[in-house]
Every structure is written in structure tokens, then in C-alpha cells.
Amino acid sequence: MLEGRELSYKKLQMDSLDGLRGLAVLIVFFSHTSNSGVFLLPNLNFSGIGKSGVFLFFVLSAFLLTLPFLKRGKDAANPGFLANYALRRFTRIYPLYVLYLFLSLVTTAVLWKIFDLKRPFGIPFPLSFNGFIDHIFLMQGRGVTWSILVEFRFYFFIPLLALTYSIIFRNRLLPSIALTAALTVASQLVWPQATATVNDPRLGPYLPIFLMGSLLALIFHRWQESSFPGNKKARILVELAGVAAAITLVSMIPSVASVLHGKIIPFNYYHKEFITFGLLWSIVLFASVAGDGILKKFFSSPPLRYLGFISFSVYLLHVIAVGLIRLYVPGIPLQGWAMLLATIAISHITWTFVEKPSSKIRLPKQA
């Protein structure tokens, strides 16, 4: 089963990044179950960390989608490659996304009549036909779908940024860093992270996170071309930086921060620290691919990689599994584990029959 995800550029398969994606979706899952008062282990409270998992998804997407442009250089400007990029982004997300929205639309239309409810009730959320259209065209995002709007908007931006790095700047670090820093400052002047609303679907406030992921792809590309991969001391330093960033991220879990600071830290205390999360996750990501220690081995483990494969299904569908178990079998033993197993079971089905087939769609003669 662990044959690697269907990538637009197969030479870029890195097992540790599958595991990081698995971690990202677990963070979202643990946050949502903890928010509901359900813990997989007693007092293991992960309330308020869901945003951290989503930000890791953002960094990963930017990194993985920028790297093929850098590897191909001028060839990435080929209309065929760009068309294939657009097709792959669409077919990777939209089939399951539309199915998810269609479920909401149909259940909203029929469930409240079947059960004689006073108002429409939908799974995973109530959705009118107009709302369905708004979601399809990325004008509205309810529940966990808000992040899909954000990611899709960055998909349009990536080719311009990546081609600037690779063709105009010829993958040189200094001008690329200067451009990235300028774009980050500009985005914060126009869309300050402090003004972002809850689950804000705009790209602007989150742009620095994506920019860090794209710049990290360039740094990694240059790293691979240098003598550093063969330098044990350099790999150790990268690993230590990654471990330090990971420890910092753990300390930002509100329940952990409350213990460390000796006072109650609100669950949303760090939610608007977009740049901080982007930087820390970028360091962890770099250590997981450029280091040669515990992080790379941990994220390359088969269980985490498997969760990484089905992560998009888990991200969308865990809300349904968690909600139905809370509603219909609230007293089930080991409730949190039941929610996780149900989510994985449903997600494996949609990954097998929806995500996996659609991810293979590509234009002819594209690697």
C-alpha cells in the first residue's frame, strides 16, 4: 500500500513528507475531539491546536508544489506542464470536495423531513443550493472547507512565484529571499494577521505561511545541489534546529502552555501567530528532509505515511464521524478511539475509490 502518493513529479517522493501530512491531520483531529471534551487518553487535551495543523498543510502544499518548478527550470514554463499542473490541482481536490458538498446538499433537503425536524439539518452541515454553488466556486467555506478556499487561491499564485524564482532569479537565494520578504511585508500591511477572522477564507492573511513553504523549496533545492548533504555536522545542525522548533510547537499547545506559564492560556491564544507557525513548521519540514535523524525516521514511519495518504479524506470526513458518534452512541467505551477508527475506515474508502483514481489523471506525456 505504501507506494507513495501520486505526484506530478515522481522523483520528488519523500517519505517523511507523507508522515508530516499525517501528523497535520492528526493535529486537526485531536483538536476537534478535545474541543468536544473527548480525549484519546485521560487529560490529554489538544484544544486549540487545529490551526497549527492547517498551517502545516499550507507549508507542505507550498513546498511540494513549488519544488517541481524549480527542478524543471525553464521547462516549467511549457504550456503543457502548466496545464497539467492546473489539471492535477483540480482533480486532486475537487472530486472529493464536490462529493462532500453534495452530501451536505442532499441531507439538508431530506433529513429534516424524514425526522420531522423544525428546520433543515445536514451532514456535515446544512447547505442550500445557493450555498452549494457558492462553495463550488470558492466564494464560501463552511466548517473545515475554509482552508480549501485559501489553498486553491494560492494554487493560482504558485506558478508566478515559482517561475520568478527559477527563471528570472535563476534559483539564486538572495534575490528570492528579498522578494519573499517584500511580499510578506506587503501582505501584512494589506491583510495583517491580527485582523484575520475565525477561519478566514481570504488568502492574504495566510500568504506569509505559503511564501515560507515556497522559499523553503528553493532553499532545499540549493541544499541538494551543494556539498551540505554529505556534511554530517550540517545535517546534525539541521536536525537540532528541527527538534528545537518541534519542542517550541509543543510548548504552544494551550494546555501545555498553561502548565509552563502557571496560568490558564485560552484555546485561541496562538491562533493568529501565522508567521510564527509558518517559520516553526518550515524548520521542522526542512529537518525532516535534509536531516538524517529522529525527525526523518519518525515521519517516515508507515502509520504516519498511511495517514498522510488519506489525509484529505480524514480532514473532511472526521467531522462526520465525530458528530455521528457523539450524537448516536455518546456512551460508547473509548469514544475518542472509536471516532478515530471510524474516520480512518471511511477515509480509506473515499481515498481508494475517489482520491486515488482522480489523482492519477494527467495530460499525456507529462511526467
Give the separation between CA 52 and CA 27, rounded to whole angstroms.
7
Residue pair 95/358 in contact by the 8 Å Cβ criterion: yes
In a domain, 298, yes or no: yes
Indicate whether 367 belongs to any domain: no
Instruction: Say if 364 falls within a structural domain.
Output: no
- The reply to whether 154 falls in a domain is yes
Q: How many domains does the chain have?
A: 1
Which 3 state secondary structure label does DSSP give 231?
Answer: coil
Query: Are 62 and 158 contacting, i.e. CB atoms less than 8 angstroms apart?
Result: yes
- d(CA 47, CA 35) in angstroms, rounded, equals 5
Farthest CA pair distance, the chain: 69
Looking at residue 120, its pLDDT comes to 79
Q: How many CA atoms lie within 13 A of 76 on its CB side?
A: 24
| Inside any domain, residue 332 | yes
5 lies in some domain: no
Range of the domain at 46: 10-359
DSSP class of 167: I
Cβ neighbours, 10 Å, residue 250: 12
Could you tell me if residue 366 is inside a domain?
Answer: no
* pTM of structure: 0.95
Contact (CB, 8 A) for 269 and 254:
yes
Collect the ranges in the chain with pLDDT lower than 70: 1-11, 365-367
Residues 76-84: contacts with CB within 8 Å, 24+ apart?
76/159, 76/162, 76/163, 76/166, 76/167, 77/163, 77/167, 80/363, 80/365, 80/366, 81/366, 82/159, 83/363, 84/8, 84/362, 84/363, 84/366
> What angle separates helix 50-72 from helix 274-290, to the nearest 10 degrees?
60
Q: Which amino acid is at 305?
A: R
Q: How far apart are CA 29 and CA 25, in angstroms?
A: 6
Residue 4, in any domain of the structure = no
* Cα–Cα dist 329/236, whole Å: 49
Q: What are the φ/ψ torsions at residue 127 (nearest 5 degrees)?
A: -145, 120
pLDDT number for residue 8? 44
In the structure grid, which three cell numbers stand for residue 174, read together? 538572495
All residues at 6 or more sequence positions from 180 whose CB lies less than 8 Å from its CB, including other chains: 211, 212, 214, 215
Nearest by Cα to 136 from 120, 154, 152, 158: 152
> What is the CA angle 238-239-244, rounded to 5?
100
In this prediction, residue 119 carries a pLDDT of: 79
For the chain, where are the alpha helices, taking DSSP H only?
15-35, 50-72, 79-114, 129-136, 146-163, 173-190, 207-225, 232-251, 254-261, 274-290, 294-299, 302-309, 311-328, 335-350, 356-359
Q: For position 172, what pLDDT does the model report?
A: 96
